[in-house]
């Protein structure tokens, strides 16, 4: 069946304008590609892994239980209410150091529990402190910032601590009102934070704690100048908590400039995703890919499917097309505003729809449990993006599957 969006009277692109590695020509709507180096060639054999090793089954033996941490009764009750029983590895190791006031480098990816690892001890340290605002948390994407804010609200319930979410893509007025209320925690993305600092609405000179979450992703996304600008507004005497999945020379430079005698805690799971069954699917053109994809989605086991595409335009178009074919689908990409992205994410997380089609940037850092399949409709820019994409399936010892479309040989 031809890949056509129903209801559109406009002529369709020919399949050839969508060749792998190519940018859709014309229309000005291919803006989802990230700035930076040209697309890496990745040999198709790197997208195949049929000798799946099951993820190590011996669970982490925590040295602490939550009750060991010097948290007040309210925070302990909020942790119990959230359903956490044992601390994860990063929580077990980082919480005592953070409570002791040390700077910490946490080498941890999404899914390790890193958010609670920094939120819990910082919430505890802030309870009873009148200085506001005092904690700044910077994250690469709006969605991740929002997720952190949601976790903050759950953990800080009843403790008289407040937050402001300062992200792009939404009205500034509400954020200015939130800032006027002098929240204890400011959680945001680099661009909007820098904006509000430069417009004189945000003062960081009294802040005591800085958290940089997914620092490697922030650098990938070109936020380095914004981050340096933001941090230059903070006092040198502060506690800095720095989270990253990888350590590159750029990251090391930041660590050197921003942290003092840091403690490093590494809980990275291997970046190889050996436990995810991976295979390629050959297709001769875009229409063929869509046909094959629709066949797959018709199978029972494809229950919660995350599909990656390269451009904002392509992602939206594919999602609309799948919906027209009867496969419930949402899209997230940078052309959607914040509330549209949130709504789409929630529908997918809550399994109201079967498919979510996303760009790499929009999907970054999101915590989506139980994804049965990751499908790379377009090949990723780099191998590290590939590993990041397929790491969304096969979490927590579950079986994960990933398919990557490649050009027919
Ligand atoms: P994160 O790596 O912070 O994005 O967390 C990944 C997921 O693990 C989130 O859904 C958390 O709510 C959950 N989580 C974090 N810590 C724990 C814990 N100690 N016990 C159970 N679930 C947790």
Say yes or no: 242 and 286 in one domain: no
Atom of ligand 1 nearest to the CA of 112: 2
Is residue 154 assigned to a domain? yes
pLDDT score for 25: 32
Please give the helix or strand (H or E) that residue 102 lies within, else none: none
Which domain, by its residues, includes 249?
A: 66-266
CB-ligand 1 contact for 320 (6 Å cutoff)? no
Say yes or no: 139 and 40 in one domain: no
Is residue 184 assigned to a domain? yes
Say yes or no: 29 and 91 in one domain: no
User: Helix H segments across 224-285?
Assistant: 224-232, 249-258
Distance CA(141)–CA(147), nearest Å, equals 10
pLDDT score for 337: 83
What lies within 8 Å, CB to CB, of 50 at 6+ separation is: 277, 278, 279
Say yes or no: 250 and 141 in one domain: yes
Say yes or no: 20 and 83 in one domain: no
CB-ligand 1 contact for 93 (6 Å cutoff)? no
Whose alpha carbon is nearest atom 18 of ligand 1? 84
pTM of the model: 0.68
Atom of ligand 1 nearest to the CA of 85: 20
- Of 213, 244, 266, the position where a domain reaches its end is 266
Whose alpha carbon is nearest atom 16 of ligand 1? 113
CB-ligand 1 contact for 349 (6 Å cutoff)? no
Question: Do 260 and 103 meet the contact criterion of CB atoms below 8 Å apart?
Answer: yes
pLDDT score for 369: 80
Counting ligand 1 atoms within 8 A of each CB, the residue from 115, 154, 214, 350 with the most, and so the one to mutate, is: 115
Is residue 377 assigned to a domain? yes
The pLDDT tens digits along the chain (409 residues) read 456 544 333 333 333 333 333 333 333 333 344 455 678 888 888 888 876 665 554 568 899 999 999 999 999 999 999 999 899 999 999 999 999 999 999 998 877 899 999 999 999 988 877 677 799 999 998 889 999 999 999 999 999 999 999 999 889 999 999 999 999 999 999 999 999 999 999 999 989 999 999 998 898 788 999 999 999 999 999 999 999 988 888 899 999 999 999 999 998 655 456 778 999 999 999 999 999 999 999 999 999 999 999 999 999 999 999 999 999 999 999 898 878 988 999 999 999 999 999 998 878 777 788 899 999 999 999 887 888 888 888 876 677 899 999 998 7
Using CB atoms within 10 Å of the CB of residue 201, give its burial: 0 to 12 exposed, 13 to 18 middle, 19+ buried.
Answer: middle
Distances (CA, A) of 252 to 180, 242, 255: 36, 11, 5
Counting ligand 1 atoms within 8 A of each CB, the residue from 110, 113, 143, 217 with the most, and so the one to mutate, is: 113
Say yes or no: 180 and 85 in one domain: yes
pLDDT score for 345: 92
**Number of structural domains found in the chain:** 2
CB-ligand 1 contact for 60 (6 Å cutoff)? no
Say yes or no: 364 and 255 in one domain: no
CB-ligand 1 contact for 183 (6 Å cutoff)? no
pLDDT score for 123: 96
Counting ligand 1 atoms within 8 A of each CB, the residue from 59, 88, 108, 150 with the most, and so the one to mutate, is: 88
**HSE toward the beta carbon, residue 132, CA cutoff 13 A:** 18
pLDDT score for 273: 67
Say yes or no: 324 and 195 in one domain: no
- Of 220, 244, 266, the position where a domain reaches its end is 266
Say yes or no: 390 and 297 in one domain: yes
- Distance, CA 88 to ligand 1 centroid (Å)? 8
Say yes or no: 175 and 215 in one domain: yes
Say yes or no: 207 and 82 in one domain: yes
pLDDT score for 265: 94
Q: Which residues is 86 bridged to in the sheet?
A: none
CB-ligand 1 contact for 365 (6 Å cutoff)? no
Q: What is the CATH number of the domain that holds 220?
A: 3.40.50.300
pLDDT score for 45: 83
- Of 226, 251, 266, the position where a domain reaches its end is 266
Say yes or no: 72 and 168 in one domain: yes
Is residue 8 assigned to a domain? no
Using CB atoms within 10 Å of the CB of residue 5, give its burial: 0 to 12 exposed, 13 to 18 middle, 19+ buried.
Answer: middle
């Amino acid at each position: 069946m031809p890949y056509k969006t129903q209801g559109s009277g406009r002529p369709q692109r020919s399949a050839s304008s969508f060749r792998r590695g190519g940018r859709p020509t014309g229309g000005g709507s291919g803006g989802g590609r990230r700035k930076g180096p040209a697309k890496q060639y990745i040999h198709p054999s790197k997208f195949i892994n049929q000798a799946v090793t099951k993820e190590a089954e011996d669970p982490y033996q925590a040295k602490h239980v939550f009750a060991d941490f010097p948290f007040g009764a309210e925070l302990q009750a909020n942790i119990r209410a959230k359903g956490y029983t044992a601390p994860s590895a990063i929580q077990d190791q980082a919480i005592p150091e953070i409570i002791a006031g040390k700077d910490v480098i946490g080498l941890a990816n999404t899914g390790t529990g890193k958010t609670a690892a920094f939120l819990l001890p910082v919430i505890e340290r802030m309870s009873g402190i009148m200085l506001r605002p005092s904690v700044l948390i910077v994250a690469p994407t709006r969605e991740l910032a929002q997720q952190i804010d949601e976790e903050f609200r759950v953990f800080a319930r009843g403790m008289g601590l407040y937050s402001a979410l300062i992200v792009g893509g939404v009205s500034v007025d509400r954020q200015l009102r939130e800032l006027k209320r002098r929240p204890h925690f400011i959680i945001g993305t680099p661009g909007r934070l820098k904006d509000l600092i430069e417009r004189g609405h945000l003062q960081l000179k009294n802040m005591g704690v800085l958290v940089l979450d997914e620092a490697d992703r922030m650098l990938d996304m070109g936020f380095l100048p914004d981050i340096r600008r933001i941090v230059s507004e903070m006092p040198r005497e502060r506690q800095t908590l720095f989270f990253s999945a990888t350590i590159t020379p750029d990251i090391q430079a930041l660590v050197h400039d921003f942290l003092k005698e840091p403690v490093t805690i590494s809980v990275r799971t291997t970046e190889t995703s050996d436990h995810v069954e991976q295979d390629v699917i050959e297709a001769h053109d875009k229409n063929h890919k869509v046909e094959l994809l629709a066949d797959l989605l018709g199978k029972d086991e494809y229950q919660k499917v995350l599909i990656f595409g390269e451009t904002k335009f392509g992602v939206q178009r594919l999602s609309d097309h799948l919906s027209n074919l009867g496969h419930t689908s949402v899209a997230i990409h940078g052309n959607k505003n914040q509330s549209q992205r949130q709504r789409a994410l929630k529908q997918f997380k809550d399994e109201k729809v079967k498919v979510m089609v996303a760009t790499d940037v929009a999907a970054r850092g999101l915590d989506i449990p139980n994804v049965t399949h990751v499908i790379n409709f377009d090949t990723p820019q780099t191998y590290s993006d590939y590993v990041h994409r397929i790491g969304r399936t096969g979490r927590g010892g579950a079986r994960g599957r990933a398919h990557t479309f490649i050009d027919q040989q």
